[in-house]
Amino acid sequence: DTEVTQTPKHLVMGMTNKKSLKCEQHMGHRAMYWYKQKAKKPPELMFVYSYEKLSINESVPSRFSPECPNSSLLNLHLHALQPEDSALYLCASSQDGRQPYNEQFFGPGTRLTVL
């Protein structure tokens, strides 16, 4: 299995809702990432997990809460989001947890709309 999967593909939520995005990979990769991408912009790094531990948080607001339950799974918990948080959320993984940002494999993304 050489892909990163993300669910759901689309998500619409209100500002008071709590929802979660899920990302899974079975390539044995030990680094996993969350990115946020607005239209016509490059992806912006949010979080990096190395060996299931949070290693980088790019000053992301606390309404985004990442979780890495095991080496194959990465979640992003969402609570009290704002309309400006609407974006494509991308998950990625790379092989070596000691060398983040090596060749990354991206998932298809979750299109999030906050009403």
Partner 1 sequence: KNQVEQSPQSLIILEGKNCTLQCNYTVSPFSNLRWYKQDTGRGPVSLTIMTFSENTKSNGRYTATLDADTKQSSLHITASQLSDSASYICVVKEAGNNRKLIWGLGTSLAVNP
Q: Which residues lie near partner 1 (CB under 8 A)?
A: 4, 40-43, 45, 88, 90-92, 99-101, 103-109, 111
Say if CB 49 and CB 55 are below 8 A apart.
yes
User: Smallest gap, in angstroms, from Cβ of residue 80 to partner 1?
Assistant: 26
Helix or strand (DSSP H, E) at 19:
strand 18-25
Whole-number minimum distance, CB 83 to partner 1, in Å? 19
CB of 101 to partner 1, least distance (A): 5
**Separation of alpha carbons 87 and 111, rounded Å:** 6
- Smaller CB separation from partner 1, 16 or 59: 59
Residue 23: CB atoms within 10 A of its CB come to 26
